[in-house]
Chains A and B, each alone.
Chain A
Amino acid sequence: MLAATARVAGDLDLAEECVQDAYVAALDVWLREGVPANPGAWLTTAARRRAIDAHRRAQVLRTKLPLLVERVEPGSTVDDIPDDRLRLVFTCCHPAIAREAQVALTLRLVCGLSTGEIARAFLVPEATMAARVTRAKKKIAAARIAYRVPAPEELPDRLDAVLTVVHLLYTTGHTAPEGERLVRTDLVERAFELTRMLRMLMPDEREVRGLLALLLLTDARRDARTAPDGRLLLLAEQSRERWDRAAIAEGRALVPGALRGGAGRFALQAAIAALHAEAPSYVDTDWPQIVGLYDVLLRVWPSPVVALNRAVAVAMADGPAVGLAALDPLVDDPRLAGYRYLPAARADLLRRLGRAGEAAACYRQALALTDNGPERDFLTRRLNEVRGA
């Protein structure tokens, strides 16, 4: 509804105000006349009318308002809503906006979360988050960031930015940055909601399909990632009967189509997740094929995090010594400075090689880098094991 109103309103703040006004009006009218057959359409129409009125009332003001959107005839209908939501997502995730603000704007304007909720999700004070959102909205207006779906030639890059935001939302929820719970279910659900929306709006985009598959296949393991006592369980330790078979089936069915014709990074990650989902056990996973997929992924997306994950797979396919050799070049990569899974992965390989002293040092490094309770407990347990060895 906000998306549909924003296009008419030409300004996100004005659109938000109009939507709020429409809710107030709805309470009044619906109490008198009963709830209409399609309350959503009623609200959207009411909010749009308010936006149009606001424009008529304030012709002078309007010239000062940023012309953030293309002109539409006030008579256009609510049928445009899917397109509007898509325009809104692309505007929120425009590369000229800082990544953290892209995430915040998407949650605020596309998912409708309050600034307070977003602030709590990202563990920043509400005033900080409000300032971040306001600043981004001001930039959209002042710099005239277009409210439109990018042209075909820009689409791959711009869609990648959108998918990155959604994926970031998912990973932030998947392992909460701090606190006693491993998973932030609310963020995970928002990520799914957004991905399914994108899939509906852009059914032919293979990377959208890939992201949905990746989220389904990763999230299928959610319940199995913690023991009944809240302890973190690694992939190797998880009870595979606790994986969500329906989610796995849905995810696996999406992978072939996502991979077709030059696979993107989300499709490749989904393919890797699918191999894990199909394996009867950690040891009996098709590690050589996983290494092969990581090799392709590294070419498509030369990220040091991918190289790290590849090294872990190499260790399973060819033994911890070969894995460690693949991992060592990453130790001095400045892009991984402060990335807790690097010392944690090194610690594990050193532990398996019987190099207890070096493993302990790496576990301590990893511990210094995480504030997530279950992760800290896991690393402390491992540290005590190698110290006792």
Chain B
Amino acid sequence: MAQYLILIYESEEFYEQATPEDWQKAMDDHARFSQQVPELGGRILGGEALQPTATATTIRGDIVTDGPFVETKEALGGYYVIEAEDLDKAIAIAKLCPAGGGGVEVRPVMKFDE
């Protein structure tokens, strides 16, 4: 098994204007996703939703600035760390990951064991 990070890139605008029903739907989607992962032979090792990029602070060297590292239309809104047999399995899982009209990026986690 290998570990992959699923980065969820979503429109922040959508969440700024989201109604309680929209939030509930997003919660339900993620709950369903967490049930689907084991059905595909994978495992969720962790994951969180993130506060919007307006709350981000960037540090480069000694300089601390307000805002994200890179300004983009779709921003990192949350992530999962999953375990899957190979990239095909990880992609199959990532395809089901809710991303609110945006998309996800799959990155293999680097291993330093032994």
Query: A300 CA to B1 CA in the complex, in Å?
Result: 37
Q: How far is the CB of B67 from chain A (nearest CB, A)?
A: 31
A-B pairs with beta carbons under 8 A, tally: 28
Interface stretch (choices A143-151, A232-240, A308-316) = A143-151
Query: Is A64's CB under 8 angstroms from B86's CB?
Result: no
Is A145 touching B87 in the complex (CB atoms < 8 A)? yes
Query: Which of A63, A94, A143 has the largest count of B CB atoms less than 10 A from its CB?
Result: A143
**Which residues of chain B are within 8 angstroms of A154 by Cβ–Cβ distance?**
88
A146–B114 contact, CB under 8 A?
no
Check if B108 sits within 8 Å of A144, measured CB to CB: yes
Instruction: Enumerate chain A residues within 8 angstroms of B85, measured Cβ to Cβ.
Output: 144, 146
- Of B87, B91, B114, which one neighbours A64 at CB under 8 angstroms? B114
Query: In the complex, how many residues of chain B place their beta carbon closer than 8 angstroms to a beta carbon of chain A?
Result: 12
Q: Which residue of B lies closest to A142 (CB)?
A: B108
Q: Determine which of A63, A146, A150 lies in contact with B87 in the assembled complex, contact meaning CB atoms within 8 Å.
A: A146
Give the nearest-CB partner of A141 in chain B: B108
Please measure, in the bound complex, the distance between the C-alpha atom of A311 and the C-alpha atom of B114, giving whole angstroms: 62
Cβ–Cβ contact A96 & B87, under 8 A: yes
* Residues in chain B within 8 A of chain A (CB atoms): 2, 85-88, 91, 106, 108, 110-111, 113-114
Can you name 15 extra interface pairs (CB under 8 A) apart from A67-B2, A143-B106, A144-B87?
A: A60-B114, A63-B114, A64-B111, A64-B114, A94-B87, A96-B87, A142-B108, A143-B87, A144-B2, A144-B108, A145-B87, A145-B88, A146-B87, A146-B88, A154-B88
Point out residues on A near B: beta carbons under 8 Å: 60, 63-64, 67, 94, 96, 142-146, 150, 154
